[in-house]
């Protein structure tokens, strides 16, 4: 039954995360978000190209994907698996729930619906950790806001939060599985920003502009 739990939460988490919210919202407006702006389907690029409303909607929906994966995994493990398998200890339950959340992030980054190319996973990660470790998530959010206000680079803010989140989780949690997974998520998030890092070094990275950019179709 434990193996069934792991497989179920991983598949469900991945499918939830793989919903390409930014792509679908932009497509509904007649725009292929992968070809305009930064060519990323995350909320930041949607905000730049389509404006505040669509950008905020995509941000919330991407975060909801991570939260939904955790809620589903928690319910499935605690109320379905445990009732039928008393040998499923708390460590394995926590690991299964953590894997469900991680799968949603991987689903967002490597969505099967768009050739396994998706967003950077920051909002989905935030949704996952707001449900698992709210205080650690708030610390990472504070780090993001501070870095953004100081630099106005979304990429720098995201990288700073990708460092702050694992540090906060390790300090606040005794859940070894969650700590290890969080460190891996942080490294993955930084890796997904490799193009931004290259542009920052070259001095060509764009600062965030609150004005909407014209979509080139």
pLDDT tens-place values along the chain, 217 residues long: 667 778 999 999 999 999 999 999 999 999 999 999 889 999 989 998 999 999 999 999 999 999 999 999 998 887 776 555 555 566 677 888 899 999 999 999 999 999 999 999 999 999 999 999 999 999 999 999 999 999 999 999 999 999 999 999 999 877 788 899 999 999 999 999 999 999 999 999 988 876 665 554 4
Whether 130 is covered by a domain: the verdict is yes
Whether the Cβ atoms of residue 157 and residue 147 lie closer than 8 Å to each other: yes
**Residue the block writes with tokens 């610390």:** 139
**73, part of any domain:** yes
- The reply to whether 211 falls in a domain is no
Q: What are 34's two structure tokens? A: 């992968």
Q: What is the residue range of 198's domain?
A: 2-202
23 occurs within a structural domain: yes
Query: Is 217 a member of any domain?
Result: no
Q: Is 81 inside any structural domain?
A: yes
CA distance 202 to 103: 33
Q: Does residue 208 lie in a domain region?
A: no
Query: Would 128 be classed as within a structural domain?
Result: yes
Extract the tokens encoding 113: 């619906």
Number of structural domains, the chain? 1
Residue carrying structure tokens 């509904």: 28
> Degrees (nearest 5) of the Cα angle 154, 131, 175?
100
Cβ proximity of 16 and 73 under 8 Å = no
């Amino acid at each position: 039954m434990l193996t069934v739990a792991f497989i179920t939460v991983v598949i469900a988490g991945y499918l939830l995360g793989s919903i390409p919210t930014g792509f679908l919202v932009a497509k509904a407006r007649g725009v292929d978000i992968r070809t305009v702006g930064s060519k990323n389907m995350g909320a930041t690029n949607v905000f730049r190209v389509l404006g505040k409303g669509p950008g905020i909607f995509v941000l919330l929906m991407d975060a909801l994907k991570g939260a939904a994966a955790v809620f589903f995994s928690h319910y499935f493990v605690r109320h379905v698996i445990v009732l039928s398998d008393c040998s499923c200890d708390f460590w394995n339950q926590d690991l299964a729930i953590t894997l469900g959340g991680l799968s949603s992030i991987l689903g967002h980054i490597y969505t099967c619906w768009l050739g396994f190319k998706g967003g950077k996973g920051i909002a989905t990660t935030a949704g996952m950790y707001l449900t698992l470790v709210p205080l650690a998530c708030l610390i990472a959010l504070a780090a993001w806001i501070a870095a953004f206000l100081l630099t106005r680079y979304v990429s720098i803010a995201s990288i700073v939060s990708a460092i702050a989140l694992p540090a906060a989780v390790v300090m606040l949690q005794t859940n070894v599985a969650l700590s290890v997974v969080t460190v891996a998520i942080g490294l993955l998030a930084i890796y997904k920003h490799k193009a931004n890092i290259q542009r920052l070094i070259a001095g060509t990275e764009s600062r965030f502009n609150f004005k909407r950019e014209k979509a080139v179709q």
